[in-house]
Amino acid sequence: MGISLCVFVNFLLVVVILNVFSMNTVNYVVEGAQSISKEEDMELGRQLKILNKPPIKIILSAWGDTYDCINIYKQPAFDHPLLRNHKIQMKPISELEQDRAQTSIFRARVERFPEGSVPIRMTEKQDFIRARLMSSTVSRSNDPSEYFAGMGYQNKDEKFYGATANMSVWQPNVTLDQYSLAEISIRSGWNDQSTRIHAGWMVNPMLYNNDSSVRYFIYWTAGCFNMLCPGFFQVHPEYTPDMPISDPSIYGKILNIIGYWPAEVFPLFGSVGAKRIYWGGYSRESEDGHAPQMGSGHFPLEYGYGKHGSYFTSMQYYNASGFLLDPNEKLMIKVLECKKNYDVEYFGFVEEVGHIFQYGGPGGKC
């Protein structure tokens, strides 16, 4: 199975599921409890109250997560200090209303989200605690227990205003304290203050109550996953940024715009654009120093070109005038950490598929 992902800097997230490709399924059980101090507990309670808006209705999804139907004009993004007066972009919504007329991906057809509402996964205290643990790590800067295998792009004469690619979807094996993902990320710079947006798929039981299904995710600078912080406006009446891709009700469907970040959330991108784009796989090892599978769990070319390989194709970017362009092949940089257990094979620009590379591997001690 493959997905096509598009991250615009100002600021739409488009997700399209492509053809069924291949997927391994495994079920893992892990332990997720964490302990916190009393003050932290109270602070979390306060945040939860802000985040969990009073729902119009509550729906249990086919995949077991509980979703609140929230009035689209009362969603948590309005709690972002710069977005109190934000006007939701209506155009995508009216286009998407047509989707609603088709079948509901949530369990029962009668269980539609009421008109004018969007599904937002109900947040529990443990979600915050896990996200906090995670966000101290996902920062792609200097955590020695995380590994990237993919391609980077940078051109000193140019700024990027979005990036896109088609990528294959897999279900890598992970344990309790590991995760494995594939993503597009755009960055305003390299230091800790730089702005970053990540979007892709991940297997991350730490973040999802022992759940090791493959899910879409978004993650941005402030340490925010999906809808856990105000900032991302959800406009799609059914699809959410944390949805499991493997659920049969979603499998093979075309998704449209799920939502967007207003430019105010990323002042740096708005004014100067992004300086670097990364496409690739990213993993975190367990405490005993074992890195999980990345992608399909096979090295690129292990079975020859195109078979069982985890791939990215059609990697492109948006320039300041909104043109979708192919990167300059000479400026593509291979980025590979933990060479023993992962690899990257870049094939350059290939007719019909565009820029293409394979990545991933079995994991192990790095």
User: Which residues bind to ligand NAG, rule: CB under 6 A?
Assistant: 4, 16, 18, 24, 26, 29-32, 166, 173, 209-210, 297, 313-314, 319-321, 323, 325, 353-354
**Backbone dihedral region for residue 94 (phi beyond 0: left; psi -120 to 50: alpha; all else: beta):** alpha
Closest approach, Cβ 9 to ligand NAG, in A, equals: 13
The position carrying tokens 């004018």 is 116
Report CA-CA distances (Å) from 356 to 177, 302, 353.
31, 16, 7
Closest approach, Cβ 322 to ligand NAG, in A, equals: 8
Closest approach, Cβ 16 to ligand NAG, in A, equals: 4
Closest approach, Cβ 79 to ligand NAG, in A, equals: 27
Closest approach, Cβ 325 to ligand NAG, in A, equals: 6
Quickly list DSSP for 53-97. Answer: PPPSEEEE-TTS-EEEEEEGGGSGGGGSTT-TTPPP-HHHHHHHH
Closest approach, Cβ 139 to ligand NAG, in A, equals: 25
What is the token pair recorded at 178? 């590991």
Q: Which residues contact 28 (CB under 8 A, 6 or more apart)?
A: 173, 174, 175, 205, 210, 212
Closest approach, Cβ 80 to ligand NAG, in A, equals: 29
Rounded Cα–Cα distance for residues 4 and 49 (Å): 35
Rounded Cα–Cα distance for residues 257 and 139 (Å): 26
**Quick check: 151 and 334 in contact, CB under 8 A?**
yes
CB nearer to ligand NAG: pick between 29 and 333: 29
**Quick check: 126 and 209 in contact, CB under 8 A?**
yes
CB nearer to ligand NAG: pick between 145 and 314: 314
Instruction: Quote the Cα angle for 64-65-69, to 5°.
Output: 130
Closest CA to 336 of 309, 364, 366: 366
CB nearer to ligand NAG: pick between 127 and 146: 127
Residue 42 CA, distance from chain mean position: 29
Closest approach, Cβ 93 to ligand NAG, in A, equals: 22
Closest CA to 65 of 204, 296, 244, 263: 244
CB nearer to ligand NAG: pick between 32 and 116: 32
**Backbone dihedral region for residue 245 (phi beyond 0: left; psi -120 to 50: alpha; all else: beta):** alpha
340: number of Cβ within 10 Å: 12
CB nearer to ligand NAG: pick between 50 and 325: 325
Closest approach, Cβ 116 to ligand NAG, in A, equals: 29
CB nearer to ligand NAG: pick between 16 and 224: 16
CB nearer to ligand NAG: pick between 33 and 101: 33
CB nearer to ligand NAG: pick between 115 and 326: 326
CB nearer to ligand NAG: pick between 16 and 336: 16
